[in-house]
């Protein structure tokens, strides 16, 4: 890992999921920051300028699609890679997420934590 | 005028909401068990590993049930979606057979796969059709006879369609149940005994997938033992 830790923002309302990803990503050498709803998520994207965002879709106050739309329409945040990590796995949701500019779309129950960490590393290299 | 209650959600809607609500806690449990099993935060002994692996297997089983329930609610509400694309049934069948090979061997099941040298591709959702093929072959393995199980998979061209068949020498289904095989939650007496963890939703979902992709699915009782399941899918044309 480089000396300066790369910063991952997880926008997720489930505290248990945040906890396990915090432990896993911190252990993998990243700085982990979190937001528990869509509005807080959008604010932290702007104020914290993370290297990558892990974004849930069903969120209180503002859903993940709207967070993504706002991120991609702001010139300061549009290049931050976004991995959607959701339980919505219908083809139309995946298409919509990718069309709005997410780099990747992962379904929580179908992927292991270690695989998510691998994807985070992959996208950080690809979008450098 | 029919009386309706706008406050009362439909059963499929309730199932869909409950299933979605279950997915997050299942992801959490799965994540915690995976972290413990990868020993990220300290060593665990063999017995602990075994118990945690069993717990993880059961979480995966619950997740499958929840996914099936979501599929059923989407089918009932007409919201089930397929991503139709050019797909090689031969390749998917071979992959499934490879994945199932050690299980089939451990279950004393011999599987053969017959196909012509060249086969055209079909138009279907590749992930969903894999689910159908996995379901048909796993049923044939699970419901094998007491002795050796023999399963014959074939793929052949039939006019504008490809025909897939899966013939087994298994315990079969009583004739009085034939009409219910593709209905949801149907479980034969034998299925309840041999596969107590099954959901009775696999064949119902298979039928929805094949029908939505423009094909047909059916089965026949073999002359000697067991059943043969068939499905057709339209061949891909430009």
Contact B28 A16 (CB under 8 A): yes
What is the average pLDDT score of chain A?
Answer: 93
The pLDDT-based confidence of B1 (bands split at 50, 70, 90) is very low
The CATH code of domain B85-234 reads: 3.30.565.10
The answer on pLDDT for B129 being more than 70 is yes
Domain boundaries, chain A: 1-56+89-128
Would you give the DSSP letter of residue B85?
Answer: E
Domain boundaries, chain B: 11-76, 85-234
**Contact residues on chain A for B25, CB-CB shorter than 8 A:** 16
Closest CA of chain A from B238, distance in Å: 23
pLDDT (tens digit, 9 = 90+) per residue, B189-233?
777 777 777 788 999 999 999 999 999 999 999 988 899 999 999
What totals of helices (H) and strands (E) does chain A contain, helices first? 5, 5
How many C-beta atoms surround the C-beta of residue B162 within 10 A?
Answer: 25
Separation between Cα atoms, residue A101 and residue A104, nearest integer Å: 9
User: What average pLDDT does the segment B159-171 reach?
Assistant: 94
pLDDT (tens digit, 9 = 90+) per residue, A83-117?
999 988 888 899 999 999 999 999 998 899 999 99
pLDDT (tens digit, 9 = 90+) per residue, A52-92?
999 999 899 999 999 999 999 999 999 999 999 998 888 88
Separation between Cα atoms, residue B51 and residue B57, nearest integer Å: 10
Separation between Cα atoms, residue B105 and residue B141, nearest integer Å: 10
- Res B76: pLDDT: 87
Lowest-pLDDT range of A18-22, A123-127, B171-175: B171-175
Question: In angstroms, how far is the first alpha carbon of chain B from the final one?
Answer: 49
Token pair recorded at residue A113: 């934590």
What is the separation of C-alpha B66 from the centre of its chain, rounded to a whole number of angstroms?
A: 13
Arch. (CATH architecture) of A1-56+89-128: 3-Layer(aba) Sandwich (3.40)
Closest CA of chain B from A11, distance in Å: 14
The pLDDT-based confidence of B5 (bands split at 50, 70, 90) is low
Separation between Cα atoms, residue A5 and residue A52, nearest integer Å: 12
The answer on pLDDT for B74 being more than 50 is yes
Contact B34 A92 (CB under 8 A): no
pLDDT (tens digit, 9 = 90+) per residue, B14-29?
887 888 889 889 999 9
In this complex, the residue of A17, A21, A109 whose CB is nearest that of residue B63 is: A109
- Preferred mutation among B16, B20, B21, B23 to probe A, highest tally of A CBs within 10 A: B23
In this complex, the residue of A87, A91, A113 whose CB is nearest that of residue B20 is: A87
B63 in reach of chain A (CB within 8 A) = yes
ipTM of the complex: 0.72
- Res B8: pLDDT: 63
Please report where in the chains the tokens 């034998």 appear, as a residue. Answer: B190
Token pair recorded at residue A92: 């139309």
A118 in reach of chain B (CB within 8 A) = no
Would you give the DSSP letter of residue B181?
Answer: T
10 Å CB burial of residue B10 (0-12, 13-18, 19+) is exposed
pLDDT (tens digit, 9 = 90+) per residue, A20-36?
999 999 999 999 999 99
Q: Give yes or no for a contact between A42 and A14, defined as CB atoms under 8 angstroms apart.
A: no
């Amino acid at each position: 890992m480089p000396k300066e830790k790369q910063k991952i923002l997880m926008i997720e309302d489930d505290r248990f999921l945040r906890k396990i990803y915090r432990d896993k990503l911190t252990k993998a050498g990243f700085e982990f920051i979190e937001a528990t709803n869509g509005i807080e998520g959008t604010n932290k994207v702007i104020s914290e300028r993370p290297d990558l965002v892990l974004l849930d879709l069903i969120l209180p106050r503002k859903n993940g699609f709207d967070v993504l739309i706002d991120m991609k329409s702001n010139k300061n945040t549009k290049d931050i890679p976004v991995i959607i990590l959701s339980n919505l796995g219908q083809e139309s949701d995946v298409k919509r997420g990718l069309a709005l500019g997410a780099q990747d779309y992962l379904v929580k129950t179908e992927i292991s934590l270690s695989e998510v960490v691998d994807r985070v590393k992959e996208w950080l290299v690809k979008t450098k | 005028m029919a009386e309706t209650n706008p406050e009362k959600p439909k059963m499929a809607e309730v199932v869909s909401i409950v299933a979605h609500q279950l997915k997050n806690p299942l992801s959490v449990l799965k994540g915690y068990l995976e972290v413990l099993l990868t020993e990220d935060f300290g060593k665990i002994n063999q017995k602990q590993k075994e118990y945690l692996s069993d717990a993880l297997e059961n979480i995966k089983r619950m997740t499958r049930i929840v996914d099936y329930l979501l599929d059923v609610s989407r089918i009932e509400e007409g919201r089930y979606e397929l991503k139709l694309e050019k797909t090689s049934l031969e390749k998917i069948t071979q992959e499934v057979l490879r994945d199932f090979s050690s299980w089939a061997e451990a279950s004393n099941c011999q599987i053969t796969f017959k196909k012509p040298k060249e086969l055209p591709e079909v138009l279907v959702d590749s992930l969903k059709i894999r689910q159908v093929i996995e379901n048909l072959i796993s049923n044939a393995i699970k419901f094998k006879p007491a002795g050796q199980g023999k399963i014959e998979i074939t793929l052949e061209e039939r006019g504008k369609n490809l025909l897939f068949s899966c013939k087994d020498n298994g315990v079969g289904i009583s004739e009085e149940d034939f009409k219910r095989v593709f209905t949801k939650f149907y479980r034969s007496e034998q299925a309840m005994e041999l596969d107590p963890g099954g959901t009775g939703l696999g064949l119902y979902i298979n039928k929805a997938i094949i029908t939505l992709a423009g094909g047909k699915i059916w089965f026949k009782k073999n002359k000697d033992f067991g059943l043969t399941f068939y499905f057709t899918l339209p061949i891909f044309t430009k």
